[in-house]
Amino acid sequence: MTFIDASQAESIQERYPEVFQRSFFKRFAPLLMVISLFLYGIYAVWFFEIPKAISEGHWERVGIYLSQWVSYDVQAEFRLEGDTITPKYPRFSPLGNDPKPDWVKQNSDRTVTVEIRGPSRAVTFSDTEATLTAHGESVRVELSGGKPTVSGNIRPWVSVYDEDVVADMGFAGEVRVEADRVKIRKRFLGWANFIFDPQSPFFGKSIGEVMSLVTTGAQIEPGRSNLSLAIDNFLNNGEWQHGDVWVKLLQTIIMAFLGTILGAVVSFPLAFLAARNITSSRFVNQSFKRFFDFLRSVDMLIWALFFTRAFGPGPLAGSAAIFLTETGTLGKIYSEGLENIDDKPREGVQSTGANHVLVQRYGVMPQVVPVMISQTLYQWESNIRGATIIGAVGAGGIGLKLWEAMRTNKNWENVAYMVLLILLVVFIFDSISNALRSRLIGKPQH
């Protein structure tokens, strides 16, 4: 083991001054970058008014919207008219047309109990009073006198307004008591009506029943097999619109496919003209390279907006937009791939007296084609994501449908369904293109 004493350290410092006495800029560059990032952060907070936006945000909606992704609610109304209590359910609710749900109980003393979450969160009411039960506590609401009044202490989960008393029962739902009616919102986990909607004759039947109807049952609609009716009912499900969603998803994939493949076909020959080691004219190289830059810089959004105007909304507009952007991107990638090839095979083919086209075919293409195909696959994959977004500006496909579902702020479960489908498609294409790429280039990329 050797140690360095002070004199040796000094001599090392003398020999390598550039290591020990670096310029001011080099020494403080990281610090300066951190400081400027920090200052920019402050500027951004001021510029976007982030504290204001956060304090004014409707944060209570986060829970509501996210719970709508995975659940649905049923609203029921109970009219209190004298002695009779008439339940009213919305038409085409997930409960069916003539529901007799087991969470609504007619008691022997002519009161009605509605269980929001078992007996522990429930409401029991007659035409004169209602008892709200939740969190192990009970609150009595008097209904006689034209408006509901809470007798006893008001709990934090009960809000009292002029016309009604609202009990928040958490995720399970809420109870709204008015003078002449009780409104219930009860939330169920899962997606309602996912397979058949209430208008379908197959609604509410178990898988076994549907199977036996399809295979051996009598024809529900004369002159049409039950199987075709079932498939039709499924695809045209009123709320989930499976058929439409799938067609739109296919449109998005096709938009990306058409745009990418047309872009590849057009940019392939142009890339040879843009590569400076293959075409010797600098002017031609530069003009094609600037042309590619131009196509990329005009941006997919602008192309999409123009073509939506030219072709009308739909996948044709999206394909054309992706095609033009992709010609620029692939042209740039291809020409840079061509500029990085090994020149020796070309020289070899040239020395046999082959003509210009044959030199490219046997001297250049074997080197670049696998890389090009791999890059093209990658672009297709990323264009599927791009096509989803430009769809929302009118280029068609699933993007538009997603955007419409979100705009209403009600159909978040449909958004979740479409997101799941998109994730599935992206995942499948990711796997396929990874498998193809690793076979083409010969090393696993992931």
Partner 1 sequence: MTFADPQPQLQSSHDIAESWRKVVARRRMYTGLGFLILFIGFVGSVRFADESNAGHFFDRLPHLFDFLSWLVPKDWGDVWRALFDIASPNDKGGQEFNFDQGRVYIWGDFYIPEYFELMIITFNVALVSTIIGFIFAVPLSFMAARNLTPSNPLRIAVKRFMEFLRAFPEIVIAGLFSAILSIGPIAAIIAISLHCIGALGKLFYEVIENVDMRSDEGMRSVGASWMERVRFAALPQVLPNFMSYALLRLEINIRASTIIGAVGGGGIGEELKLSISRGFGAKTLALVLLLFVTIFAVDQFSAWLRRRLVGENAFLLKH
| Phi then psi dihedrals of residue 198, to 5 deg | -60, -15
CB nearer to partner 1: give 44 or 211: 44
Question: Between 200 and 388, whose beta carbon lies closer to partner 1?
Answer: 388
Nearer to partner 1, 165 or 249 (CB): 249
Backbone angles phi, psi at 84, to 5 degrees: -95, 140
What's the number of CA atoms in the CB half-sphere (13 Å) around residue 241?
Answer: 15
Whether the CB-CB separation of 94 and 193 falls below 8 Å is answered with yes
Q: What are phi and psi of 122, to 5 degrees?
A: -155, 170
Residue 226 or 260: the one with the smaller Cβ distance to partner 1 is 260
Measured from the Cβ of residue 384, the count of other Cβ atoms closer than 10 Å reads 24
Contact 300, 236 (CB under 8 A): no
Secondary structure class of 142 (helix, strand, coil)? strand
Return the structure tokens found at 403.
């955007």
Please report how close the Cβ of residue 262 comes to partner 1 at its closest, in angstroms. 8
Minimum distance from residue 57 beta carbon to partner 1 (Å): 5
| Residue 148 buriedness (CB in 10 A; 0-12 / 13-18 / 19+) | buried
CB of 347 to partner 1, least distance (A): 22
**Shortest distance, position 268 Cβ to partner 1, whole Å:** 13
Nearest CB to partner 1, comparing residues 237 and 319: 319
At closest approach, how far in Å is the CB of 348 from partner 1? 18
Whichever of 188 and 311 has its CB closer to partner 1, that residue is: 311
d(CA 372, CA 338): 10
93 vs 411 by CB, closer to partner 1: 411
Give least dist CB 445 to partner 1, A: 8
Q: Closest distance between partner 1 and the C-beta of residue 435, in Å? A: 15
Question: Quick one: 133 or 388, whose CB is closer to partner 1?
Answer: 388
Q: Could you give the 3-state DSSP secondary structure of residue 150?
A: strand
Sequential DSSP letters for 39-96: HHHHHHHHHTTHHHHHHHS-THHHHHHHHHHHEEEEEEEEEEETTEEEEE--TT-TT-
Q: Which residue's CB is nearer to partner 1, number 195 or number 425?
A: 425
Answer yes or no: are the C-beta atoms of 362 and 352 closer than 8 Å: no
As measured in angstroms, the least distance from the Cβ of 186 to partner 1 is: 24
- How many C-beta atoms lie closer than 10 Å to residue 18's C-beta? 8
As measured in angstroms, the least distance from the Cβ of 440 to partner 1 is 12
- Note the residue count of the chain: 446
The half-sphere exposure of 66 on its side-chain side, counting CA atoms within 13 A, is 6
Q: How many CA atoms lie within 13 A of 347 on its CB side?
A: 4
